[in-house]
C-alpha cells in the first residue's frame, strides 16, 4: 500500500516538474482585463461606517479603524482640497513603502508603473479625471522577502460636498511587477 502512495506522489511530482519547464521565472498571474470601481469617504469627516482607505495588496477599500493594512486614504484637506495620504504620513515608525504618484498620462496609455518618484509622506492633491499610480507596502505574507504591488487609478468622481471619491483601478497581482498592460497577458 505504501508503494502505491509513493508511486502516485512520484507521478504528481513528475507532472508538476514537467509543467515548470526550463524557466526559472515564476508563473505570472494574468492582469485583470477590466478595471474595478471603488468609492472611499473623507478620512476626517466621513462616517465611521464608510471606508476611507484602500489596500493595494488586497485590492479593496478598507475602514482604517478595523484593519491596519492600508496604503492610502482619501482626505479633503483644508488647504489642498481633495488629496490622498499615504500610510507613511500617518503611521509612526512606518518605513514609508506605500507611495502615490500623480501622472500626466491617460489611464489606458499608462502601461508600466514608474520605478521611482512616489510620494510617501505628505498629502498628494488629486483632481477629477486625474490619473495616479501606487506602490503598495510590503506584503507581509512573504516574510522578509520584498513584495510590493503596483497599480494605476483613474479618479472618476469627487463629491466634496458629500465627502466621497470614486475611482477605477487596475492592479498587477504579481509581486514587484510594474507592468500595467493587460495586453501582455500570457
Give the pLDDT score at 109.
97
Distance of CA 67 to the CA centre of its chain: 16
Per-residue pLDDT of the chain (186 residues; tens, 9 = 90+): 444 444 444 433 433 444 444 555 668 899 999 999 999 999 999 999 999 999 999 999 999 999 988 999 999 999 999 999 998 877 655 566 899 999 999 999 999 999 999 999 899 999 999 999 999 999 988 777 889 999 999 999 999 999 999 999 999 999 999 999 999 987
Asked if 173 contacts 29 with a C-beta cutoff of 8 angstroms, the reply is yes
What's this model's pTM, rounded to 2 decimal places? 0.83
DSSP-derived secondary structure for the chain? -HHHHHHHHHHHHHHHHHHHTT--SPPPPPPPSS-EEEEEE-TTTS-TTS--EEETTTTEEE-TTT-S--SEEEEEETTTEEEEEEHHHHSTT-----EEEEESS-GGG--B--SS--B-SS-EE--TT-EEEEEPPP-GGGTTS----EEEEEEEEEETTTTEEEEEEEE--STT--B--GGG--
Amino acid at each position: 500500500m505504501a508503494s502505491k502512495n509513493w508511486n502516485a506522489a512520484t507521478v504528481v511530482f513528475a507532472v508538476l516538474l514537467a509543467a515548470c519547464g526550463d524557466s526559472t521565472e515564476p508563473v505570472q498571474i494574468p492582469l485583470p482585463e477590466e478595471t474595478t470601481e471603488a468609492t472611499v469617504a473623507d478620512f476626517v469627516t466621513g462616517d465611521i461606517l464608510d471606508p476611507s482607505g484602500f489596500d493595494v495588496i488586497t485590492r479593496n477599500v478598507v475602514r482604517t479603524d478595523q484593519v491596519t493594512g492600508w496604503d492610502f486614504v482619501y482626505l479633503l484637506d483644508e488647504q489642498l482640497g481633495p488629496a490622498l495620504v499615504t500610510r507613511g504620513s500617518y503611521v509612526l515608525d512606518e518605513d514609508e513603502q506605500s507611495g502615490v504618484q500623480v501622472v500626466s498620462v491617460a489611464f489606458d496609455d499608462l502601461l508600466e508603473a514608474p520605478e521611482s518618484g512616489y510620494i510617501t509622506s505628505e498629502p498628494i492633491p488629486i483632481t477629477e479625471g486625474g490619473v495616479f499610480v501606487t506602490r503598495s507596502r510590503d506584503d507581509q505574507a512573504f516574510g522578509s522577502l520584498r513584495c510590493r504591488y503596483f497599480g494605476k487609478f483613474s479618479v472618476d468622481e469627487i463629491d466634496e460636498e458629500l465627502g466621497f471619491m470614486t475611482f477605477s483601478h487596475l492592479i498587477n497581482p504579481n509581486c514587484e511587477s510594474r507592468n500595467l498592460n493587460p495586453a501582455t497577458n500570457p
